[in-house]
Structure 1
Amino acid sequence: MGILSRASYVVRSKLNALLNRAEDPTETLEYSYEQMRDELQDVKQGIADLTTQKKRLEIQKRRLEENVEKHNEQAREAVRQDRDDLARQALEKKQAKMNQIEELEGQIADLQSTQDDLVEKKNELQNRIEEFRTKKETMKARYEAAEASSRVSEAMTGVGDEMNDVSRAIERAEERTDEMEARSEAMDELVDTGAFEDAMSDKDSIDRELESGRTNAEVDSELETLKTEMGGGADEASEADSEPAADVEDDPTAEVDVSDTEVEAELEELKDDEN
Protein backbone atom coordinates (compact mmCIF):
# COMPACT_ATOMS: atom_id res chain seq x y z
CA MET A 1 0.00 0.00 0.00
CA GLY A 2 1.47 3.35 -1.09
CA ILE A 3 1.87 6.42 1.09
CA LEU A 4 -1.08 8.20 -0.50
CA SER A 5 -3.28 5.12 -0.19
CA ARG A 6 -2.33 4.69 3.46
CA ALA A 7 -2.96 8.38 4.16
CA SER A 8 -6.33 8.18 2.43
CA TYR A 9 -7.22 5.08 4.44
CA VAL A 10 -6.26 6.78 7.72
CA VAL A 11 -8.29 9.88 6.85
CA ARG A 12 -11.34 7.80 5.94
CA SER A 13 -11.06 5.73 9.11
CA LYS A 14 -10.77 8.81 11.32
CA LEU A 15 -13.63 10.53 9.49
CA ASN A 16 -15.77 7.42 9.89
CA ALA A 17 -14.97 7.34 13.63
CA LEU A 18 -15.95 11.00 13.97
CA LEU A 19 -19.20 10.40 12.11
CA ASN A 20 -20.00 7.41 14.30
CA ARG A 21 -19.48 9.49 17.43
CA ALA A 22 -21.50 12.37 16.05
CA GLU A 23 -24.32 10.23 14.67
CA ASP A 24 -27.55 10.25 16.61
CA PRO A 25 -29.48 7.01 15.92
CA THR A 26 -32.80 8.71 16.57
CA GLU A 27 -32.05 11.36 13.96
CA THR A 28 -31.00 8.66 11.48
CA LEU A 29 -34.25 6.78 12.06
CA GLU A 30 -36.30 9.94 11.65
CA TYR A 31 -34.49 10.77 8.43
CA SER A 32 -35.08 7.25 7.04
CA TYR A 33 -38.74 7.47 8.01
CA GLU A 34 -39.12 10.81 6.24
CA GLN A 35 -37.41 9.39 3.15
CA MET A 36 -39.86 6.49 3.04
CA ARG A 37 -42.77 8.87 3.42
CA ASP A 38 -41.42 10.96 0.56
CA GLU A 39 -41.22 7.85 -1.60
CA LEU A 40 -44.79 6.98 -0.69
CA GLN A 41 -45.87 10.48 -1.65
CA ASP A 42 -44.10 10.11 -4.99
CA VAL A 43 -45.91 6.81 -5.64
CA LYS A 44 -49.25 8.40 -4.80
CA GLN A 45 -48.47 11.30 -7.13
CA GLY A 46 -47.56 8.81 -9.87
CA ILE A 47 -50.83 6.95 -9.40
CA ALA A 48 -52.75 10.22 -9.57
CA ASP A 49 -50.99 11.25 -12.79
CA LEU A 50 -51.55 7.81 -14.32
CA THR A 51 -55.22 7.85 -13.39
CA THR A 52 -55.58 11.31 -14.91
CA GLN A 53 -54.05 10.10 -18.19
CA LYS A 54 -56.33 7.07 -18.21
CA LYS A 55 -59.38 9.27 -17.66
CA ARG A 56 -58.39 11.42 -20.62
CA LEU A 57 -58.21 8.35 -22.85
CA GLU A 58 -61.58 7.16 -21.59
CA ILE A 59 -63.11 10.56 -22.39
CA GLN A 60 -61.59 10.40 -25.88
CA LYS A 61 -62.97 6.89 -26.31
CA ARG A 62 -66.48 8.00 -25.37
CA ARG A 63 -66.31 10.79 -27.94
CA LEU A 64 -65.21 8.31 -30.61
CA GLU A 65 -68.06 5.99 -29.65
CA GLU A 66 -70.46 8.90 -30.05
CA ASN A 67 -68.98 9.56 -33.52
CA VAL A 68 -69.42 5.89 -34.42
CA GLU A 69 -73.09 6.13 -33.52
CA LYS A 70 -73.36 9.33 -35.52
CA HIS A 71 -71.79 7.68 -38.58
CA ASN A 72 -74.22 4.77 -38.26
CA GLU A 73 -77.15 7.19 -38.44
CA GLN A 74 -75.56 8.93 -41.41
CA ALA A 75 -75.15 5.60 -43.25
CA ARG A 76 -78.80 4.63 -42.60
CA GLU A 77 -80.04 8.02 -43.75
CA ALA A 78 -77.93 7.80 -46.90
CA VAL A 79 -79.33 4.33 -47.70
CA ARG A 80 -82.88 5.61 -47.26
CA GLN A 81 -82.04 8.35 -49.74
CA ASP A 82 -80.39 5.90 -52.13
CA ARG A 83 -77.06 7.62 -51.64
CA ASP A 84 -74.72 4.72 -51.48
CA ASP A 85 -71.73 6.96 -51.92
CA LEU A 86 -72.57 8.92 -48.78
CA ALA A 87 -73.38 5.72 -46.93
CA ARG A 88 -69.97 4.34 -47.90
CA GLN A 89 -68.20 7.49 -46.64
CA ALA A 90 -70.06 7.32 -43.34
CA LEU A 91 -69.17 3.66 -42.89
CA GLU A 92 -65.53 4.36 -43.67
CA LYS A 93 -65.42 7.06 -41.04
CA LYS A 94 -67.16 4.71 -38.65
CA GLN A 95 -64.53 2.06 -39.28
CA ALA A 96 -61.68 4.53 -38.66
CA LYS A 97 -63.26 5.64 -35.39
CA MET A 98 -63.69 2.03 -34.30
CA ASN A 99 -60.02 1.34 -35.02
CA GLN A 100 -59.10 4.34 -32.86
CA ILE A 101 -61.42 3.08 -30.14
CA GLU A 102 -59.74 -0.30 -30.22
CA GLU A 103 -56.33 1.31 -29.95
CA LEU A 104 -57.50 3.49 -27.06
CA GLU A 105 -58.93 0.48 -25.29
CA GLY A 106 -55.50 -1.18 -25.44
CA GLN A 107 -53.84 1.91 -24.03
CA ILE A 108 -56.47 2.22 -21.32
CA ALA A 109 -55.98 -1.44 -20.39
CA ASP A 110 -52.21 -0.94 -20.12
CA LEU A 111 -52.66 2.14 -17.95
CA GLN A 112 -55.12 0.28 -15.76
CA SER A 113 -52.66 -2.57 -15.30
CA THR A 114 -49.89 -0.11 -14.41
CA GLN A 115 -52.22 1.66 -12.04
CA ASP A 116 -53.12 -1.59 -10.30
CA ASP A 117 -49.44 -2.44 -9.90
CA LEU A 118 -48.69 1.00 -8.47
CA VAL A 119 -51.62 0.80 -6.07
CA GLU A 120 -50.40 -2.61 -4.88
CA LYS A 121 -46.86 -1.28 -4.42
CA LYS A 122 -48.25 1.78 -2.70
CA ASN A 123 -50.15 -0.38 -0.22
CA GLU A 124 -47.10 -2.54 0.37
CA LEU A 125 -44.89 0.50 0.89
CA GLN A 126 -47.45 2.03 3.22
CA ASN A 127 -47.50 -1.15 5.31
CA ARG A 128 -43.70 -1.14 5.46
CA ILE A 129 -43.72 2.47 6.54
CA GLU A 130 -46.16 1.69 9.35
CA GLU A 131 -44.00 -1.19 10.50
CA PHE A 132 -40.89 0.97 10.30
CA ARG A 133 -42.62 3.72 12.28
CA THR A 134 -43.43 1.25 15.05
CA LYS A 135 -39.86 -0.04 15.12
CA LYS A 136 -38.55 3.51 14.96
CA GLU A 137 -40.54 4.60 17.98
CA THR A 138 -39.46 1.47 19.86
CA MET A 139 -35.80 2.00 19.01
CA LYS A 140 -36.07 5.68 19.84
CA ALA A 141 -37.53 4.90 23.26
CA ARG A 142 -34.82 2.30 23.92
CA TYR A 143 -32.06 4.67 22.85
CA GLU A 144 -33.38 7.54 24.98
CA ALA A 145 -33.70 5.22 27.97
CA ALA A 146 -30.16 3.90 27.46
CA GLU A 147 -28.85 7.45 27.01
CA ALA A 148 -30.54 8.61 30.21
CA SER A 149 -29.20 5.60 32.09
CA SER A 150 -25.71 6.27 30.76
CA ARG A 151 -25.88 9.91 31.82
CA VAL A 152 -27.01 8.93 35.31
CA SER A 153 -24.18 6.41 35.56
CA GLU A 154 -21.65 8.97 34.35
CA ALA A 155 -22.97 11.50 36.86
CA MET A 156 -22.74 8.98 39.70
CA THR A 157 -19.24 7.84 38.77
CA GLY A 158 -18.01 11.34 37.88
CA VAL A 159 -16.91 10.41 34.35
CA GLY A 160 -17.99 11.70 31.00
CA ASP A 161 -17.38 14.90 29.09
CA GLU A 162 -19.87 16.98 31.04
CA MET A 163 -18.62 15.84 34.43
CA ASN A 164 -15.03 16.39 33.30
CA ASP A 165 -15.98 19.93 32.35
CA VAL A 166 -17.57 20.39 35.76
CA SER A 167 -14.46 19.05 37.50
CA ARG A 168 -12.22 21.38 35.51
CA ALA A 169 -14.52 24.29 36.31
CA ILE A 170 -14.30 23.48 40.02
CA GLU A 171 -10.51 23.26 39.82
CA ARG A 172 -10.32 26.60 38.04
CA ALA A 173 -12.65 28.14 40.62
CA GLU A 174 -10.53 26.81 43.47
CA GLU A 175 -7.33 28.12 41.87
CA ARG A 176 -8.93 31.50 41.28
CA THR A 177 -10.23 31.60 44.86
CA ASP A 178 -6.81 30.74 46.27
CA GLU A 179 -5.24 33.43 44.12
CA MET A 180 -7.76 36.04 45.27
CA GLU A 181 -7.33 35.06 48.93
CA ALA A 182 -3.53 35.34 48.61
CA ARG A 183 -3.92 38.71 46.90
CA SER A 184 -6.26 39.92 49.64
CA GLU A 185 -3.83 38.85 52.36
CA ALA A 186 -0.99 40.59 50.50
CA MET A 187 -3.02 43.80 50.30
CA ASP A 188 -3.77 43.62 54.02
CA GLU A 189 -0.09 43.14 54.78
CA LEU A 190 0.90 46.10 52.62
CA VAL A 191 -1.73 48.26 54.32
CA ASP A 192 -0.46 47.24 57.76
CA THR A 193 3.15 48.06 56.87
CA GLY A 194 2.14 51.43 55.40
CA ALA A 195 3.46 50.56 51.96
CA PHE A 196 0.38 52.02 50.26
CA GLU A 197 0.67 55.27 52.23
CA ASP A 198 4.35 55.55 51.32
CA ALA A 199 3.62 54.78 47.69
CA MET A 200 0.95 57.46 47.51
CA SER A 201 3.04 60.08 49.33
CA ASP A 202 5.38 62.52 47.52
CA LYS A 203 7.97 62.36 50.37
CA ASP A 204 11.28 60.64 49.84
CA SER A 205 13.25 58.55 52.35
CA ILE A 206 15.13 61.58 53.77
CA ASP A 207 11.86 63.43 54.45
CA ARG A 208 10.47 60.40 56.24
CA GLU A 209 13.63 60.01 58.37
CA LEU A 210 13.61 63.71 59.33
CA GLU A 211 9.92 63.56 60.19
CA SER A 212 10.56 60.50 62.35
CA GLY A 213 13.40 62.35 64.11
CA ARG A 214 11.20 65.39 64.76
CA THR A 215 8.49 63.13 66.16
CA ASN A 216 10.99 61.42 68.49
CA ALA A 217 12.36 64.81 69.61
CA GLU A 218 8.87 66.07 70.38
CA VAL A 219 8.16 62.94 72.41
CA ASP A 220 11.45 63.31 74.34
CA SER A 221 10.72 67.00 75.04
CA GLU A 222 7.25 66.21 76.31
CA LEU A 223 8.71 63.45 78.48
CA GLU A 224 11.25 65.83 80.05
CA THR A 225 8.50 68.37 80.71
CA LEU A 226 6.43 65.70 82.39
CA LYS A 227 9.38 64.63 84.51
CA THR A 228 10.01 68.25 85.53
CA GLU A 229 6.38 68.73 86.50
CA MET A 230 6.39 65.51 88.45
CA GLY A 231 9.71 66.51 90.15
CA GLY A 232 8.31 69.91 91.25
CA GLY A 233 5.38 68.18 92.88
CA ALA A 234 7.76 66.00 94.87
CA ASP A 235 9.73 69.06 96.19
CA GLU A 236 6.55 70.72 97.34
CA ALA A 237 5.63 67.56 99.14
CA SER A 238 9.05 67.54 100.90
CA GLU A 239 8.66 71.18 102.05
CA ALA A 240 5.27 70.38 103.44
CA ASP A 241 6.77 67.54 105.40
CA SER A 242 9.42 69.88 106.97
CA GLU A 243 6.80 72.20 108.48
CA PRO A 244 5.43 71.40 111.98
CA ALA A 245 2.50 69.10 111.91
CA ALA A 246 -0.76 70.49 113.08
CA ASP A 247 -2.57 68.96 115.95
CA VAL A 248 -5.00 66.50 114.57
CA GLU A 249 -7.23 66.75 117.51
CA ASP A 250 -7.31 70.58 117.31
CA ASP A 251 -7.80 70.63 113.48
CA PRO A 252 -10.02 67.79 112.29
CA THR A 253 -9.43 68.74 108.62
CA ALA A 254 -5.64 68.27 108.84
CA GLU A 255 -4.19 65.43 106.78
CA VAL A 256 -2.31 62.52 108.28
CA ASP A 257 1.50 62.86 107.99
CA VAL A 258 3.07 60.49 105.40
CA SER A 259 6.71 59.40 105.48
CA ASP A 260 9.14 60.60 102.78
CA THR A 261 9.92 57.00 101.82
CA GLU A 262 6.33 56.28 100.84
CA VAL A 263 6.10 59.50 98.79
CA GLU A 264 9.31 58.75 96.96
CA ALA A 265 8.16 55.18 96.19
CA GLU A 266 4.83 56.40 94.81
CA LEU A 267 6.65 59.02 92.70
CA GLU A 268 8.90 56.39 91.20
CA GLU A 269 5.89 54.19 90.31
CA LEU A 270 4.23 57.16 88.60
CA LYS A 271 7.36 57.85 86.57
CA ASP A 272 7.57 54.22 85.55
CA ASP A 273 3.92 54.30 84.45
CA GLU A 274 4.50 57.43 82.39
CA ASN A 275 7.58 55.95 80.76
Structure 2
Amino acid sequence: MGILERLSRLIRANINDLIRRAEDPEKIIEQALEDMRATLREARMEVAEAMAELKKLEREQQSYAEQAAAWERKAAEALKAEREDLAREALKRKQQAQALAEGFAQQVAQQQDLVRQLTTQLRALESKIQESEAKKALLIARKKGVEAAEAVRRFESKIDAHGAVEAFEDMERRIQAMEDKHAALSEMDKSEIEKELERLGSNREVEEDLARLKRELGIA
Protein backbone atom coordinates (compact mmCIF):
# COMPACT_ATOMS: atom_id res chain seq x y z
CA MET A 1 0.00 0.00 0.00
CA GLY A 2 1.40 3.41 -1.00
CA ILE A 3 2.03 6.25 1.41
CA LEU A 4 -0.74 8.44 0.01
CA GLU A 5 -3.26 5.59 -0.04
CA ARG A 6 -2.47 4.75 3.57
CA LEU A 7 -2.77 8.42 4.49
CA SER A 8 -6.13 8.68 2.73
CA ARG A 9 -7.54 5.75 4.70
CA LEU A 10 -6.22 7.12 7.98
CA ILE A 11 -7.67 10.58 7.39
CA ARG A 12 -11.05 9.18 6.32
CA ALA A 13 -11.24 7.02 9.44
CA ASN A 14 -10.36 9.84 11.84
CA ILE A 15 -12.52 12.46 10.15
CA ASN A 16 -15.52 10.14 9.95
CA ASP A 17 -15.14 9.55 13.68
CA LEU A 18 -15.07 13.30 14.36
CA ILE A 19 -18.09 13.88 12.12
CA ARG A 20 -20.04 11.16 13.92
CA ARG A 21 -19.27 12.97 17.17
CA ALA A 22 -20.35 16.30 15.59
CA GLU A 23 -16.98 17.89 16.29
CA ASP A 24 -16.06 21.46 15.42
CA PRO A 25 -14.96 21.73 11.73
CA GLU A 26 -11.79 23.47 12.92
CA LYS A 27 -10.91 20.35 14.92
CA ILE A 28 -11.56 18.20 11.85
CA ILE A 29 -9.17 20.33 9.78
CA GLU A 30 -6.49 20.16 12.47
CA GLN A 31 -6.95 16.39 12.84
CA ALA A 32 -6.51 15.93 9.09
CA LEU A 33 -3.31 17.96 9.18
CA GLU A 34 -2.02 16.03 12.18
CA ASP A 35 -2.70 12.74 10.37
CA MET A 36 -0.78 14.07 7.38
CA ARG A 37 2.16 15.13 9.55
CA ALA A 38 2.23 11.74 11.28
CA THR A 39 2.18 9.96 7.93
CA LEU A 40 4.96 12.26 6.70
CA ARG A 41 7.14 11.23 9.63
CA GLU A 42 6.49 7.56 8.85
CA ALA A 43 7.13 8.13 5.15
CA ARG A 44 10.48 9.74 5.84
CA MET A 45 11.46 6.73 7.95
CA GLU A 46 10.40 4.37 5.17
CA VAL A 47 12.41 6.29 2.59
CA ALA A 48 15.44 6.34 4.87
CA GLU A 49 15.16 2.58 5.47
CA ALA A 50 14.72 1.90 1.75
CA MET A 51 17.78 3.99 0.92
CA ALA A 52 19.80 2.21 3.59
CA GLU A 53 18.75 -1.16 2.17
CA LEU A 54 19.71 0.04 -1.31
CA LYS A 55 23.20 0.96 -0.14
CA LYS A 56 23.54 -2.45 1.52
CA LEU A 57 22.52 -4.25 -1.68
CA GLU A 58 24.88 -2.11 -3.73
CA ARG A 59 27.75 -3.03 -1.40
CA GLU A 60 26.89 -6.73 -1.70
CA GLN A 61 26.69 -6.50 -5.49
CA GLN A 62 29.97 -4.63 -5.65
CA SER A 63 31.64 -7.12 -3.32
CA TYR A 64 30.65 -10.17 -5.39
CA ALA A 65 31.58 -8.39 -8.62
CA GLU A 66 35.03 -7.72 -7.18
CA GLN A 67 35.30 -11.34 -6.02
CA ALA A 68 34.44 -12.54 -9.53
CA ALA A 69 37.13 -10.30 -10.99
CA ALA A 70 39.61 -11.55 -8.39
CA TRP A 71 38.89 -15.19 -9.21
CA GLU A 72 39.33 -14.35 -12.89
CA ARG A 73 42.80 -13.02 -12.15
CA LYS A 74 43.64 -16.07 -10.05
CA ALA A 75 42.54 -18.37 -12.85
CA ALA A 76 44.84 -16.53 -15.24
CA GLU A 77 47.73 -16.81 -12.79
CA ALA A 78 47.09 -20.54 -12.37
CA LEU A 79 47.20 -21.07 -16.13
CA LYS A 80 50.44 -19.16 -16.33
CA ALA A 81 51.79 -21.50 -13.68
CA GLU A 82 50.52 -24.44 -15.74
CA ARG A 83 48.03 -25.36 -13.01
CA GLU A 84 44.95 -25.94 -15.08
CA ASP A 85 43.25 -27.68 -12.19
CA LEU A 86 43.59 -24.59 -10.04
CA ALA A 87 42.49 -22.40 -12.93
CA ARG A 88 39.39 -24.53 -13.38
CA GLU A 89 38.54 -24.24 -9.65
CA ALA A 90 39.13 -20.49 -9.71
CA LEU A 91 36.79 -20.11 -12.66
CA LYS A 92 34.11 -22.07 -10.80
CA ARG A 93 34.44 -19.69 -7.88
CA LYS A 94 34.37 -16.78 -10.32
CA GLN A 95 31.10 -18.01 -11.85
CA GLN A 96 29.54 -18.42 -8.41
CA ALA A 97 30.56 -14.91 -7.39
CA GLN A 98 29.41 -13.52 -10.73
CA ALA A 99 26.01 -15.19 -10.38
CA LEU A 100 25.60 -13.67 -6.93
CA ALA A 101 26.71 -10.27 -8.24
CA GLU A 102 24.12 -10.46 -11.02
CA GLY A 103 21.44 -11.50 -8.53
CA PHE A 104 22.27 -8.58 -6.27
CA ALA A 105 22.30 -6.27 -9.32
CA GLN A 106 18.68 -7.22 -9.95
CA GLN A 107 17.85 -6.57 -6.31
CA VAL A 108 19.60 -3.20 -6.56
CA ALA A 109 17.49 -2.25 -9.60
CA GLN A 110 14.28 -3.23 -7.82
CA GLN A 111 15.29 -1.35 -4.69
CA GLN A 112 16.15 1.72 -6.76
CA ASP A 113 12.63 1.65 -8.22
CA LEU A 114 11.17 1.36 -4.73
CA VAL A 115 13.25 4.28 -3.47
CA ARG A 116 12.13 6.40 -6.43
CA GLN A 117 8.47 5.56 -5.81
CA LEU A 118 8.71 6.27 -2.09
CA THR A 119 10.60 9.51 -2.70
CA THR A 120 7.99 10.65 -5.23
CA GLN A 121 5.18 9.90 -2.79
CA LEU A 122 7.09 11.65 -0.02
CA ARG A 123 7.49 14.81 -2.11
CA ALA A 124 3.81 14.70 -3.05
CA LEU A 125 2.86 14.37 0.62
CA GLU A 126 5.11 17.27 1.61
CA SER A 127 3.54 19.40 -1.11
CA LYS A 128 0.04 18.40 0.01
CA ILE A 129 0.79 19.33 3.61
CA GLN A 130 2.15 22.74 2.57
CA GLU A 131 -0.97 23.34 0.48
CA SER A 132 -3.25 22.23 3.32
CA GLU A 133 -1.42 24.43 5.83
CA ALA A 134 -1.99 27.40 3.52
CA LYS A 135 -5.68 26.53 3.12
CA LYS A 136 -6.19 26.02 6.84
CA ALA A 137 -6.21 29.75 7.66
CA LEU A 138 -8.63 30.44 4.81
CA LEU A 139 -11.00 27.66 5.85
CA ILE A 140 -10.99 28.83 9.47
CA ALA A 141 -11.66 32.42 8.33
CA ARG A 142 -14.58 31.20 6.20
CA LYS A 143 -15.90 29.23 9.17
CA LYS A 144 -15.76 32.31 11.40
CA GLY A 145 -17.52 34.32 8.69
CA VAL A 146 -20.35 31.80 8.59
CA GLU A 147 -20.57 31.84 12.38
CA ALA A 148 -20.76 35.66 12.38
CA ALA A 149 -23.49 35.64 9.74
CA GLU A 150 -25.40 33.05 11.73
CA ALA A 151 -25.09 35.20 14.87
CA VAL A 152 -26.54 38.17 12.99
CA ARG A 153 -29.37 36.00 11.69
CA ARG A 154 -30.18 34.79 15.20
CA PHE A 155 -30.12 38.38 16.50
CA GLU A 156 -32.48 39.52 13.77
CA SER A 157 -34.76 36.58 14.51
CA LYS A 158 -34.94 37.62 18.15
CA ILE A 159 -35.90 41.15 17.17
CA ASP A 160 -38.63 39.87 14.85
CA ALA A 161 -39.85 37.40 17.44
CA HIS A 162 -40.46 40.13 20.01
CA GLY A 163 -42.14 42.37 17.44
CA ALA A 164 -40.03 45.32 18.57
CA VAL A 165 -39.96 46.96 15.16
CA GLU A 166 -43.69 46.50 14.58
CA ALA A 167 -44.49 47.79 18.07
CA PHE A 168 -42.39 50.90 17.50
CA GLU A 169 -44.05 51.63 14.17
CA ASP A 170 -47.52 51.06 15.65
CA MET A 171 -46.77 53.48 18.49
CA GLU A 172 -45.60 56.08 15.98
CA ARG A 173 -48.88 55.75 14.06
CA ARG A 174 -50.91 56.12 17.26
CA ILE A 175 -49.05 59.26 18.31
CA GLN A 176 -49.54 60.76 14.85
CA ALA A 177 -53.26 60.02 15.06
CA MET A 178 -53.44 61.66 18.49
CA GLU A 179 -51.65 64.74 17.16
CA ASP A 180 -54.02 64.95 14.18
CA LYS A 181 -57.05 64.63 16.45
CA HIS A 182 -55.73 67.33 18.77
CA ALA A 183 -55.14 69.68 15.85
CA ALA A 184 -58.66 69.08 14.54
CA LEU A 185 -60.22 69.73 17.94
CA SER A 186 -58.18 72.89 18.37
CA GLU A 187 -59.37 74.12 15.00
CA MET A 188 -62.98 73.45 15.95
CA ASP A 189 -62.57 75.29 19.27
CA LYS A 190 -61.53 78.58 17.64
CA SER A 191 -64.16 81.34 17.74
CA GLU A 192 -65.50 82.93 14.63
CA ILE A 193 -63.76 86.17 15.58
CA GLU A 194 -60.39 84.43 15.79
CA LYS A 195 -60.97 82.86 12.43
CA GLU A 196 -61.94 86.24 10.91
CA LEU A 197 -58.86 87.89 12.40
CA GLU A 198 -56.68 85.15 10.93
CA ARG A 199 -58.29 85.70 7.52
CA LEU A 200 -57.77 89.46 7.79
CA GLY A 201 -54.17 88.93 8.76
CA SER A 202 -53.71 86.67 5.80
CA ASN A 203 -55.41 89.20 3.46
CA ARG A 204 -53.24 92.02 4.79
CA GLU A 205 -50.11 90.05 4.03
CA VAL A 206 -51.35 89.47 0.50
CA GLU A 207 -52.09 93.20 -0.01
CA GLU A 208 -48.69 94.20 1.31
CA ASP A 209 -46.99 91.70 -0.98
CA LEU A 210 -49.04 93.01 -3.94
CA ALA A 211 -48.09 96.66 -3.20
CA ARG A 212 -44.42 95.70 -3.02
CA LEU A 213 -44.58 93.95 -6.38
CA LYS A 214 -46.28 97.03 -8.00
CA ARG A 215 -43.54 99.31 -6.69
CA GLU A 216 -40.88 97.06 -8.12
CA LEU A 217 -42.63 97.04 -11.50
CA GLY A 218 -43.33 100.83 -11.46
CA ILE A 219 -47.08 100.39 -11.59
CA ALA A 220 -49.10 103.16 -9.90
TM-score bin, normalised by smaller chain: 0.5 to 0.7
Residue by residue, what CA displacement relative to the aligned partner does 1:179-232 show, whole Å, maximum 9, x if unpaired? xxxxxxxxxxxxxxxxxxxxxxxxxxxxxxxxxxxxxxxxxxxxxxxxxxxxxx
Aligned mates of 1:146, 1:54 — CA distance in 2: 52
Aligned mates of 1:116, 1:24 — CA distance in 2: 39
Task: Look up the match of 1:201.
Answer: none
Counterpart mapping for 1:34-45 below 5 A? 34-45=34-45
* Residue 18 to residue 131, structure 1, CA distance change in 2 (3 Å): closer
Counterpart mapping for 1:249-264 below 5 A? none
Q: Which runs of 5+ in 1 are unaligned?
A: 1-15, 160-275
Aligned mates of 1:155, 1:49 — CA distance in 2: 59
| Pair 1:119 & 2:124 matched | no
Task: Look up the match of 1:218.
Answer: none
Aligned mates of 1:131, 1:81 — CA distance in 2: 71
Structure richer in helix, relative to its length: 2
Give the AA of the match of 1:42: E
Give the AA of the match of 1:19: R
Q: Tell me the SS of whatever aligns to 1:92.
A: helix
Aligned mates of 2:20, 2:108 — CA distance in 1: 54
Larger Rg computed on CA atoms: 1
Give the AA of the match of 1:67: Q
Aligned mates of 2:71, 2:35 — CA distance in 1: 54
Residue by residue, what CA displacement relative to the aligned partner does 1:10-32 show, whole Å, maximum 9, x if unpaired? xxxxxx99932xx2111110010
Task: Look up the match of 2:139.
Answer: 139
Aligned-residue Cα RMSD (Å) equals 2.7
Q: TM-score of the superposition, structure 1-length normalised?
A: 0.46
Task: Look up the match of 2:47.
Answer: 47
Give 2:21's match in structure 1, choosing from 19, 22, 30: 19
Give the AA of the match of 1:75: A
Q: Tell me the SS of whatever aligns to 1:58.
A: helix
Counterpart mapping for 1:15-164 below 5 A? 19-20=21-22, 23-147=23-147
Q: Tell me the SS of whatever aligns to 2:21.
A: helix
* Residue 111 to residue 81, structure 1, CA distance change in 2 (3 Å): same
Count of matched residue positions in the alignment of Structure 1 and Structure 2 = 142
Counterpart mapping for 1:206-221 below 5 A? none
**Cα displacement (A) at 1:157:** 8.1
Give the AA of the match of 1:110: Q
Aligned mates of 2:149, 2:44 — CA distance in 1: 42
Aligned mates of 1:18, 1:90 — CA distance in 2: 71
Give the AA of the match of 1:62: Q
**Cα displacement (A) at 1:61:** 1.3
Give the AA of the match of 1:52: A
Which has the higher mean CA deviation after the structures are superposed, 143-152 or 91-100? 143-152
Aligned mates of 1:122, 1:141 — CA distance in 2: 29
Q: Which runs of 5+ in 2 are unaligned?
A: 1-17, 160-220
Aligned mates of 2:19, 2:65 — CA distance in 1: 69
Counterpart mapping for 1:230-249 below 5 A? none
